[in-house]
Amino acid sequence: MNLHPKLTSRFISALILLSSCMFAATEPCASEIIDIYLSKDLSASMVIEKGNQLELNIPKAIFKGLGQVRPNLLKSISIDQKANSYQMILTGHLILKSRIVNSEKGAQIIIKDHACVKKNERKIIVIDAGHGGKDPGAIGVNDLMEKDVTLAVANALAQSLSQYPHFSVFLTRSQDEYISLRGRISLAQKHEPDLFISIHADSAPRKTAEGMSVYALSVAGATSEQAKYLADKHNNELTSTNNVLDGIIFQLTQRASIVSSIQLGAKIIASAGKVPVHINHVEQAAFVVLKAFDIPSVLVEIGFLSSPEDARRLSSAQGQRNIVAMIESGIFKYFDIRMFDYVVSSGDTIAGIARKFNQSVPMLLKLNPQINPHQLKVGSVIKIEKK
């Protein structure tokens, strides 16, 4: 078989290196990193997980070369040249799980033993505050900027979720700065999230339009004209500030992820409480920012900055707290978390803990008959019911 010159030399070196450690024991949580030089990003659909094998189908048109292979989990690599692609089969000692990280030069495939992915570990949530820096987003009543509102809500949501033992929370931005679409996606992917939430605010010609909405990705067209309009608007905004949309995102190919996204969105809407709702169901459209992840991903429009009433709510601390409570409650419902443990810290009081988690003191005492409310012991565990 005739191979790409760069591929041939690097592939032979990789085979020699791999054969020398074919029967070596691997570390229980070791990882493999494969560097592939490409002219475009590697999409999730090009990598297929098959038990202890990974199958890579890389179009010849975008392939440039294979980087250094640092064997750990793999025992062999085979390669075959198809009509329009190179097919690589990576075989490991154990069942393999993979993750792709795209960069300017190409892609890294990070391979791990599936046993290292613990079922009971913290859920990783990435929160994306829309716009920022030179990109203000929508500008509404009293010159209220979308970038400021989304940042305030994202920071507050991250701070609130971080109190709970169930989550590790990361932000794509925590200050007023411009981050490109590629940058935001890259930042999020590095954390291998279980959940992705992008926060935005809307604007409309009619000042009477108000309330929040939730959107998920669609691969079969928009569910309404409004959803299509909003997706086109967001995607155009991204295109105007990022001329790198082609080939920089993973294509979401698993319909199960879209179903999960709709379920997450429905839980958020059902938790609206004091937050006015503009559309009472999850809309779908081809949002570019949601295509990067094969996990539950939603775009939450928290209100209309063009509405005097929404602008007032979104610029107030209480209004932002209501938004945070809505999204947080939706996340808890999605993961079906109803009870959690809180470890008492120095200075804690039963009344303070109750306020912190929106509980009543009598309910806390009922759930925790073993505690003395007048003498909390540092390090003791209190059960709290999530409302």
Which pLDDT does position 289 carry in this prediction?
Answer: 53
Fold of 339-385: Membrane-bound Lytic Murein Transglycosylase D; Chain A (3.10.350)
* CA atoms of 12 and 4, how far apart (whole Å): 12
Per-residue confidence (pLDDT) for residue 214, from 0 to 100: 93
SS3 (DSSP) at 139: strand
Q: Which pLDDT band, with edges at 50, 70 and 90, does 182 fall under?
A: confident
Q: Which of 3-12, 20-29, 326-335 has the highest mean pLDDT?
A: 326-335
Name residues whose C-beta falls within 8 Å of residue 341's C-beta, 6 or more positions apart in sequence: 165, 381, 382, 383, 384
123-334 has CATH 3.30.420.40 classification = no
Extents of the domains making up the chain = 5-116, 123-334, 339-385
Bridge partners for 243 per DSSP: none
Q: For residue 374, how many other CB atoms are within 10 A of its CB?
A: 7
pLDDT band of residue 249 (cuts 50, 70, 90) is very low
**What integer best gives the mean pLDDT of the chain?**
77
Angle at 217 between CA 211 and CA 221, to 5 degrees: 100
Written as one letter, the residue type at 107 is: A
Are 59 and 84 in contact by the 8 Å Cβ rule? The answer is yes
Q: Burial code of 29-51, b = ≥16 C-beta within 10 A, e = fewer?
A: ebebebbbbbeebbbbebbeeee
**What is the predicted pLDDT for the residue at 30?**
57
**pLDDT category of residue 246 using cuts at 50, 70 and 90:** very low
Which residues, at least 6 apart from 125, have a Cβ–Cβ distance to it below 8 Å? 161, 167, 168, 169, 170, 193, 194, 195, 196, 197, 331
Exposed, middle or buried by CB within 10 Å (0-12, 13-18, 19+), for 281?
middle
Instruction: Note the pLDDT tens digit of each residue in 353-374.
Output: 998 888 889 989 988 888 898 8
The DSSP code sequence of 164-192 is STTEEEEES-SSS----HHHHHHHHHHT-
Confidence of residue 8 (pLDDT cuts 50, 70, 90): very low
What are phi and psi for residue 264, nearest 5 degrees? Answer: -60, -45
Write down the residue that tokens 């599936």 correspond to: 114
Amino acid identity at 142: N
The helix-helix angle for 146-161 and 317-334 (nearest 10°) equals 50
Contact 279, 213 (CB under 8 A): yes
- Residue 312, pLDDT score: 97
Is the pLDDT assigned to residue 382 strictly greater than 50? yes
Reported as a pLDDT band with limits 50, 70 and 90, residue 259 is: confident
Closest CA to 217 of 283, 262, 284: 284
Residue 282 has pLDDT above 80, yes or no: yes
pLDDT level of residue 39 (50, 70, 90 thresholds): confident
- pLDDT at residue 147 greater than cutoff 50: yes
Both tokens assigned to 110: 């990070």
Question: Which residue would you say has higher pLDDT here, 377 or 221?
Answer: 377
Query: The sheet that has 47-50: what strands, in order across it?
Result: 47-50, 53-59, 85-92, 74-81
Q: Which residues contact 316 (CB under 8 A, 6 or more apart)?
A: none
Question: Can you give the pLDDT at residue 20?
Answer: 31
Name which residue leads in pLDDT, 141 or 96. Answer: 141
Predicted pLDDT at 134: 95
- Residue 212, pLDDT > 80, answer yes
Residue 32's beta-bridge partner residues? 111
**Closest of 233, 238, 261, 264 to residue 249, by C-alpha:** 238
What are the C-alpha distances in Å from 291 to residues 35, 133, 213, 230? 23, 23, 19, 15
How far apart (Å, rounded) are the C-alpha atoms in residues 262 and 214?
Answer: 9
Inter-residue contact 111 to 75 (CB < 8 Å): no
- Poorest-pLDDT segment among 30-44, 160-174, 259-273, 334-348: 30-44
| Residue 161 in tokens | 């979720």
Give the span between the Cα atoms of 101 and 87, in whole angstroms.
Answer: 19
